Structure 1
Amino acid sequence: MTSVRTIDVHAHILTEEMMRLMRREAPDIGPTLSEVDEHGGVLQVGSIVQRPFPRGAWDLELRLRDMDQAEVDMQVLSVCPQTFLYDRDPALTAALSSIQNDEIAKIVRQHPDRFLGIATLPMQDPERAVAELRRAMTQLGLSGAQIGSHVEGRNLDDPALEPLWAAAEELGAFILVHPQKTAAGDRLKSYYLKNLIGNPLDTTIAAASLVFGGVLERHPNLKFCFAHGGGFMPYQTGRMNHGYDVRAEGKVNLKEPPEVSIRRLYFDCILHFEPALRYLVDTFGADHVLLGSDYPFDMGTMDGVRQIRALRATPEERNLILGEAAAVLLGQQGAPVKRAAQAG
């Protein structure tokens, strides 16, 4: 069995202490838990209700047991998307972001062999977002940030965000893009389509905006990772190229075909379908595919490590996906391997 340190780059957290501190700062927003049992509860953040809200989101002992069971050595902790709060006053969102980032950093310090962390940012105020990213990385020791797929309807190629991308490139930030408030909501109300289709759809819009907006051409060293296998983006690269060839609109901000920028992106492995994962690895390289779980939510997986180990791939490719590529992106290469079954 490989001795590579397995690193899960997509894992959410909202501890009871985070909730308490956020309620003290903003009583009208929460977050609050109700109907709590051994499996979870109901989370309310302002008008947002998450049902069910799995216990692993706040129960650290359960999280560590689940990680051991899943053979995950390290998780990269990020906030739950319900707490992005891009629709609130920027100063308040900045304060609530700071609380969550401080608490994530505290957990990382307490369990440095099991956790890394990435920040949440007040994206509706790019100046504040830059300041919080710098603080999170230079003072708290976090490795980057998780951001939403849009900022209250503004796509990620919005010119106002340019200072943030410049700072993220300068700092070497790992940026996980996660869907939220997804498009086409009125048509996706049935069958859980708001998640089954809505989440990958919004991820695709975010990726396409960054690509066709020229953000990756201007900042080729940015490290964007897209959740849930990149949405539909990796599987429509040919269509993106064709549109660039035959239409003028795609050339407004791009000097090279979109595939050049798409190949600069990273994707987690949460696809639930081996042929799709195999395509992702074959097309974009194992060094651009990262282990993810979406812990603790129901559309994630506890079997990611086992799925990668069973993937038809070379040992070198499997090791890259399991953790070697993430270690480089997160500045962790050379750190000692510690098997999950032996850890705290």
Structure 2
Amino acid sequence: MLVDAHAHLLPRDYPADAPGCFPRMEPIDGDTARLLVFGATRFRAREVFFDAERRVEAMDASGVSAEVLTPMPPLLRYDLPPADGLSLARHVNEFTATLCAADPRRLIGFGMVPMQDPDAAATELKAVREAGLHGVEIASNVLGASIGDERFLPFFAEAERLDLPIFVHAMPAPTDRLPRSAMGTYVVGLEGALAAASLITGGTAAACPDLRVSFSHAAGGFPLVLPRAQYFWSGTWNEEPPVPERAIAHTEGPSPLDHARRFYYDSMVFDRRALRYLIDLLGHDRLLVGSDFPAMEREDPAGRTLRSLDLPEAALADITWHNAYRFLGVDPPR
């Protein structure tokens, strides 16, 4: 069994009377695909993005038992006016719920909320749950602001109260230190690291101990900087017992690694050596399978690199499906 915990969808259409700032899905002559037009974005969306039957066929072809479906990241437009952002979120969430109702055992939908208005985002979480969606996707920053900023703490606290998991998708923030061509590679890796670190350093992880959070692409460079954060906290190497008088930034309570080992991370890191490091540092119980499908093609078959590691059977089962259901907070199918 294999659960793909990082897969995306797009609505097939938007209301004819939608605000002008909404996306459009335009037909393409002689093609079943549709063209997503949203600001500067132009993206050819294949049928599998919005058709449940094609979706399940693609899952069967690649050996995927279930998918966690989140909106394509370009839909997380926090620059929209809050009222329009809420209207867009509700339309996307309604579509997601309808799509997943075609096969709720295999299609597990996540909603979106207007994080540009943290109060509205927190209030909308109840509607997300009532729609039958299993969690919420947010971007790694909100108009350049860290998600660990205190203004977003009530949102995370409400998600914890409602038992809704959060999927944090790395999204570029404006920068002139790298060319635009690097936005989808290096900047995404940096954003994942900043988002995960901010939830620890900003106090969200400590304030919401039961909150379940996962990060796309293993939170970018975050796992590589964790040992340094641990050293600053403990004053020792290799997770040896802390010596607070030697530490630079020691605080009472859980260490950076303790907090990090409460998060989940998808395994879409493109290299078996990176996977081995993640398992060794964070634990096999923290990893989820991810693919970015259908924006990117899955390995053939899904999870091929993961299976090449010759992991113990129980560890492989955790990564391929058990952890996904633990993250979701639902009982796995029998």
Q: Per the alignment, in what secondary structure is the counterpart of residue 76 of structure 1?
A: strand
Task: Give distance in 2, aligned partners of 1:124 and 1:81.
Answer: 15
Whether the 8 Å CA contact 1:180–1:202 is kept in 2: the answer is: yes
Is 1:14–1:58's contact at 8 Å kept on the other side of the alignment? yes
Letter in 1 for 2:14: R
Q: Match for residue 121 of structure 1?
A: 113
2:210 to 214, 221, 226: 221
Alignment: residue pair count: 324
1:159 equivalent to 2:157? Answer no
Contact 2:212 2:327 in 1 (8 A): yes
Q: CA deviation at 1:60?
A: 3.4
| Superposition deviation, residue 331 in structure 1 | 3.0
Q: CA deviation at 1:201?
A: 1.0
**Residue of structure 2 equivalent to 1:326:** 324
Secondary structure, in 3 states, of the residue corresponding to 1:201? helix
TM-score (norm 2): 0.88
> What displacement does 1:317 show?
0.6
Q: Secondary structure at the match of 2:67?
A: strand
- Deviation digits for residues 121-176 of structure 1 (CA, Å, limit 9, x no counterpart): 11111121112111111x11211100000110110112111111111111221111
Which segments of 5 or more consecutive residues in structure 2 lack a partner in the other structure? 236-245
The farther-off stretch of 216-225 and 25-34 is 25-34
CA distance in structure 2 between the aligned counterparts of 1:25 and 1:301, rounded to whole angstroms: 37
Match of 2:284 among 279, 283, 286: 286
Which shifted more, 36-45 or 54-63? 36-45
Structure 2 partner of 1:24:
17
What displacement does 1:86 show?
A: 0.7
Equivalent residue, structure 1, for 2:239 = none
Deviates more, 1:288-297 or 1:307-316: 307-316
Give the partner amino acid of 1:287: D
Q: Pick the aligned partner of 2:102 from 110, 118, 125.
A: 110
Give the TM-score taking structure 1 as reference length. Answer: 0.86
Structure 2 counterpart of 1:258, one-letter code: P
Gaps of 5+ in 1: 337-344
SS of equivalent residue, structure 2 residue 87:
helix
State the distance in 1 between where 2:213 and 2:120 align: 20
Give the structure 1 partner of residue 159 of structure 2: 168
Q: What is the CA–CA distance in structure 1 between the aligned matches of 2:149 and 2:160, rounded to whole Å?
A: 17
- Mapped to 1, the partners of 2:178 and 2:233 lie a distance apart of 29
Instruction: Give the distance between the partners of 1:128 and 1:55, measured in 2 at CA.
Output: 32
Counterpart of 2:5 in 1: which secondary structure?
A: strand
Say which of 91, 104, 108 aligns to 1:99. Answer: 91
Secondary structure (helix, strand or coil) at the match of 1:119 reads strand
Alpha carbons 1:156, 1:206 under 8 Å: kept: yes
Q: Which moved more, 1:106-115 or 1:317-326?
A: 106-115
CA contact (8 A) 1:175 1:224 kept: yes
Identity %: 28
| Residues 1:254 and 1:136: Cα distance change in structure 2 (over 3 Å) | farther
Q: CA deviation at 1:303?
A: 4.2
Larger RCO, structure (CA 8 Å, separation 6 or more): 1
From 223, 237, 255, give the equivalent of 1:234: 223
Rounded to whole Å, the distance in 2 between the matches of 1:162 and 1:20 is: 32
CA distance in 1, matches of 2:194, 2:298: 21
CA contact (8 A) 1:79 1:100 kept: yes
Conserved 8 A contact 1:293-1:302: no
C-alpha spacing 1:34/1:198, structure 2 compared with 1 (3 Å): farther
Quote the offset at 1:230 in angstroms.
1.8
Q: 2: distance between equivalents of 1:272 and 1:256?
A: 31
Equivalent positions of 1:171-186 (< 5 A) are 171-184=162-175
Give CA deviations for 1:233-268 in whole Å, capped at 9, x if unaligned: 0122112223446799956x8754322211111100
